[in-house]
């Protein structure tokens, strides 16, 4: 499903060169739930961004769903992200000026073949799946942290992507809400067969996934 | 998708109220000024009654008699030969030293004998203006009267509130009939209704009112008057003058817009070939000026020898002013928009992460900016209506009645959209290039 081969990432400024990732080789199978752990600054989010086509590797190859994506132009990359990938961020990144349902339908806005009515129906379904059917017209500022992350999950899954990339999805939540969010991800993986790659600092959460990869100073140690 | 953008545009407007106030104030004030300027230009130069056919009109109210003086300048070589100075004239040249010019309005004879035969035109009317002081009910009224041919009413489509214009029979038989404006009717008769049939006396001659027209909105001297009288009812001395100069104006209606240039050229040519009358034989040549409506307006401002030069200055100043009024607030808005959009870099990255490409972001921000501009434009439109009302009420432009018609509205709407597009394009383009990872 995800095939990372010899991927390195170097950030360059005029005076400094920072090696964020070095020769990473990683394969994630279809339906797998993988967690990535490591200390701050070890390159976890960079690796996730490269898998999500949000960032480009300095060298190496990335294959997603059997397709080499290195030579995709920006429009094709955007379409691939829209159809195949879903993102969950630590700080939710909801658009505060939009209602919950408008936030959830955001990925569907960029699918020209989906009508406005279908968008609303799919978004309502996704919200119901995360237990927020009665919060459609609320705004993010009216929700708790756990509810916001559930909205973010609904947004990530509304387009039925094959892969979900979650960057510390429980990082800003207390343990109870963190557990609730984690359970939603596990259900998604088990019931829908969605491949999930999750970056986390939380050993307890990582233990609930199928496989754990550890990074240290940009290199893969486990 | 656009519904989503629309919701967001209004949310963004409501989020930062001071920013929104500054932004909307700039937009609405700018557009208000532009709309008032557009309304003014449309009233003065646009195709509105009574000058609905302004594009086909050629106006003639200047004739110039001129004699050019030249100086002869000799270049003389001199040299000393055998103790004596010798002179040798080797060259001479002439240059313009001055001119004797007499310019003013044409006499009726110039039109009747020389210019009415020029083609192509559909209608021609000569006219001249005279002031009257009229005493009625112990009050003095100063009236501006226009004596005109019957075809005057075929060229200028005044809005008749009641009655009819005078016709060729009235003119041929010098019937004492008059057409008055609604304003004059109100001031003189106390009403602008049922005025036809009433009488007024000008310089001892009594005229019957046969029509009431809406007062001309433009300041053009070709249309402006309080009362319109048949040409033949003017005093005989003015009408029978043999002079090529006089108090007259002429207005030609070309068959089509494409014929206007030809008509102007033919009039100029005919003017150059008018024989100099014996009483003006100090002059060598005659030049007449046949203007389009816009040329006449421009020439009245700058009085250049060449009409095209006045027109060019007028257009430069006009478009320069409009451009300046648009440029400064546009640059300001670009700056404001950039700071507003930078605040939303996280949203842009989220949208891109979920499938938006640069084009979507560009369209979204342009759309939002155009919506904001249209809101500002609506406020500007209402302010413009208020300002136009106040200008008309105050009499600041005594001979012009500004109005806001659909054409001005359409042009203003285009300016609004252009303003929104221009002020949003650069910021939207910059933000659309943002890398996804930068905002997360």
Residues B32 and B132 placed together within one structural domain of the fold: no
Q: Is residue B71 part of a domain?
A: no
**Least reliable range by pLDDT among A21-25, B151-155, B212-216, B326-330:** B326-330
Q: Which CATH superfamily is domain A31-56+73-220 in?
A: P-loop containing nucleotide triphosphate hydrolases (3.40.50.300)
B165 SS3 class: coil
Tell me the residue length of chain B.
440
* Residue B6: closest C-alpha in chain A: A98
- Suggest the residue from B9, B14, B355, B356 to mutate for an interface test with chain A (most A CBs closer than 10 A): B355
Q: Got the DSSP string for B344-408?
A: THHHHHHHHHTT--HHHHHHHHHHHHHHHHHHHHHHHHHHHHHHHHHHHHHTSSTT------HHH
Write the ipTM: 0.92
pLDDT tens per residue, range A64-99:
877 787 778 888 899 999 999 999 998 899 998 889
What pLDDT score does B89 carry? 66
Cα A183 from Cα A178, distance rounded (Å): 9
Q: Is residue B9 part of a domain?
A: yes
How are beta strands A59-64 and A2-12 bridged, if at all? antiparallel
Among B205, B239, B273, the domain boundary falls at B239
Summarize chain A as % helix, strand, coil (round to 5).
Answer: 40, 25, 35
Residues B326 and B230 placed together within one structural domain of the fold: no
What pLDDT score does B90 carry? 66
Q: What is the mean pLDDT of residues B376-397?
A: 91
Q: Does B6 touch chain A (CB under 8 A)?
A: no
Q: Number of A to B CB contacts under 8 A, please give it.
A: 71
Q: Does B16 touch chain A (CB under 8 A)?
A: no
* Residue B359: closest C-alpha in chain A: A75
Q: Is residue B192 part of a domain?
A: yes
pLDDT tens per residue, range B218-277:
989 999 999 999 999 999 999 999 899 999 999 999 999 999 999 999 999 999 999 998
The closest alpha carbon to A88, from A152, A26, A29, belongs to A152
The domain limits of chain A are 31-56+73-220
Buried b (16+ CB within 10 A) or exposed e, A192-205: eebbbbbbbebeeb
Cα B406 from Cα B412, distance rounded (Å): 10
Q: Which residues of chain A make contact with B349, given a CB cutoff of 8 A? A: 93
Q: Is residue B37 part of a domain?
A: yes
Q: Is residue B252 part of a domain?
A: no
How many other CB atoms are found less than 10 A from the CB of residue A56? 15
pLDDT tens per residue, range A46-57:
999 999 998 889
* Residue partners of B328: CB distance under 8 A and separation at least 6: none
Considering only the beta carbons, identify the residue of B12, B15, B350 that sits closest to A93: B350
Distance of CA B191 to the CA centre of its chain: 31
Q: What is the mean pLDDT of residues B380-408?
A: 89
Among B195, B217, B239, the domain boundary falls at B239
CB pair distance less than 8 Å for B437 and A95: no
* Residue B15: closest C-alpha in chain A: A97
**Percent of the residues in chain A that have a pLDDT greater than 90, as a whole number:** 57
B177 SS3 class: strand
The closest alpha carbon to A35, from A197, A185, A204, belongs to A197
The closest alpha carbon to B101, from B70, B63, B65, belongs to B65
pLDDT tens per residue, range B160-179:
999 999 999 999 999 999 99
The closest alpha carbon to B185, from B199, B169, B205, B175, belongs to B199
User: Do residues A155 and A121 lie in contact, with contact meaning Cβ atoms separated by under 8 Å?
Assistant: no
Residues B39 and B138 placed together within one structural domain of the fold: no
Among B239, B269, B301, the domain boundary falls at B239
- Suggest the residue from B350, B364, B371 to mutate for an interface test with chain A (most A CBs closer than 10 A): B350
Q: What token pair was written down for A105?
A: 């339908």
Give the range of the structural domain holding residue B161, as residue numbers without chain letter: 123-239
CB pair distance less than 8 Å for A110 and B354: yes
CB pair distance less than 8 Å for A49 and B354: no
Cα B32 from Cα B29, distance rounded (Å): 5
CB pair distance less than 8 Å for A98 and B12: no
CB pair distance less than 8 Å for A54 and B355: no
Number of helical (H) and strand (E) elements in chain B, helices listed first: 13, 11
Cross-strand pairs, A67? A64
Task: Tally the domains of chain B.
Answer: 2
User: Do residues A180 and A19 lie in contact, with contact meaning Cβ atoms separated by under 8 Å?
Assistant: no
């Amino acid at each position: 499903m995800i095939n990372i081969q010899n991927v390195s990432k170097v950030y360059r400024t005029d005076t400094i060169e920072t090696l964020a990732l070095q020769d990473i080789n990683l394969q994630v199978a279809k339906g797998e739930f993988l967690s990535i752990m490591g200390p701050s600054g070890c390159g976890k989010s960079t690796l996730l961004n490269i898998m999500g086509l949000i960032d480009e590797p300095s060298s190496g190859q990335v294959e997603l769903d059997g397709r080499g994506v290195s030579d995709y132009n920006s429009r094709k990359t955007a379409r691939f992200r829209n159809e195949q990938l879903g993102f969950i961020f630590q700080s939710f990144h909801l658009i505060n000026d939009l209602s919950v349902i408008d936030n959830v339908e955001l990925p569907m806005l960029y699918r020209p073949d989906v009508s406005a009515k279908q968008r609303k129906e799919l978004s309502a379904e996704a919200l119901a799946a995360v237990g927020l059917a009665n919060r459609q017209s609320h705004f993010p500022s009216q929700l708790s942290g756990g509810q916001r992350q559930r909205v973010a999950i609904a947004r990530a899954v509304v387009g039925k992507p094959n892969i979900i990339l979650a960057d510390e999805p429980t990082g800003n939540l207390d343990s109870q809400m963190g557990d609730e969010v984690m359970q939603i991800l596990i259900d998604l993986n088990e019931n829908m067969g969605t491949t999930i790659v999750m970056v986390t600092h939380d050993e307890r959460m990582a233990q609930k996934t199928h496989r754990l990869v550890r990074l240290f100073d940009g290199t893969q140690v486990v | 998708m656009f519904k989503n953008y629309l919701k967001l545009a209004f949310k963004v407007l409501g989020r930062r109220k001071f920013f929104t106030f500054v932004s909307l104030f700039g937009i609405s004030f700018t557009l208000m000024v532009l709309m008032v300027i557009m309304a003014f230009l449309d009233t003065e130069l646009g195709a509105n009654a009574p000058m609905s056919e302004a594009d086909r009109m050629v106006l003639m109210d200047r004739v110039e008699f001129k004699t050019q003086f030249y100086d002869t300048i000799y270049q003389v070589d001199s040299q000393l030969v055998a103790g004596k100075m010798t002179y040798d004239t080797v060259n001479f040249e002439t240059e313009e030293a001055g001119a004797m010019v007499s310019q003013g309005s044409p006499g009726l004879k110039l039109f009747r004998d020389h210019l009415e035969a020029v083609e192509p035109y559909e209608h021609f009317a000569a006219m001249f203006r005279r002031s009257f002081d009229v005493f009625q009910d112990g009050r003095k009224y100063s009236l501006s009267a226009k004596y005109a041919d019957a075809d005057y009413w075929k060229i200028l489509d005044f809005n008749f509130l009641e009655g009819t214009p005078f016709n060729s029979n009235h003119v041929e038989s010098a019937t004492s009939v008059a057409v008055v404006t609604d304003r004059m009717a109100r001031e003189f008769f106390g009403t602008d209704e049922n005025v036809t049939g009433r009488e007024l006396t000008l310089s001892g001659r009594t005229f019957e009112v046969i029509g009431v027209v809406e007062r001309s909105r433009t300041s053009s001297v070709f249309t402006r008057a309080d009362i319109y009288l048949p040409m033949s009812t003017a005093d005989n001395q003015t009408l029978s003058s043999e002079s090529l100069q006089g108090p007259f104006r002429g207005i030609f209606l070309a068959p089509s817009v494409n014929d206007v240039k030809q008509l102007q050229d033919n009039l100029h040519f005919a003017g150059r070939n008018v024989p100099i009358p014996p009483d003006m034989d100090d002059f060598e040549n005659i030049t007449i000026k046949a203007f389009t409506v816009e040329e006449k307006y421009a020439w009245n401002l700058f009085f250049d020898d060449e009409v095209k030069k006045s027109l060019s200055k007028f257009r430069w100043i006009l478009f320069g002013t409009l451009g300046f009024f648009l440029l400064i607030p546009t640059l300001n808005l670009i700056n404001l928009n950039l700071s507003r959009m930078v605040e939303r870099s996280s949203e842009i990255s989220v949208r891109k992460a979920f499938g938006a490409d640069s084009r979507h972001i560009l369209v979204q921000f342009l759309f939002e900016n155009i919506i904001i501009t249209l809101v500002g434009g609506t406020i500007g439109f209402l302010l413009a209506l208020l300002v136009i009302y106040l200008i008309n009420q105050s009499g600041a432009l005594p001979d012009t009645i500004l109005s806001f018609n659909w054409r001005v509205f359409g042009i203003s709407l285009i300016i609004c959209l252009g303003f929104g597009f221009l002020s949003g394009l650069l910021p939207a383009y910059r933000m659309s290039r943002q890398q996804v990872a930068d905002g997360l």
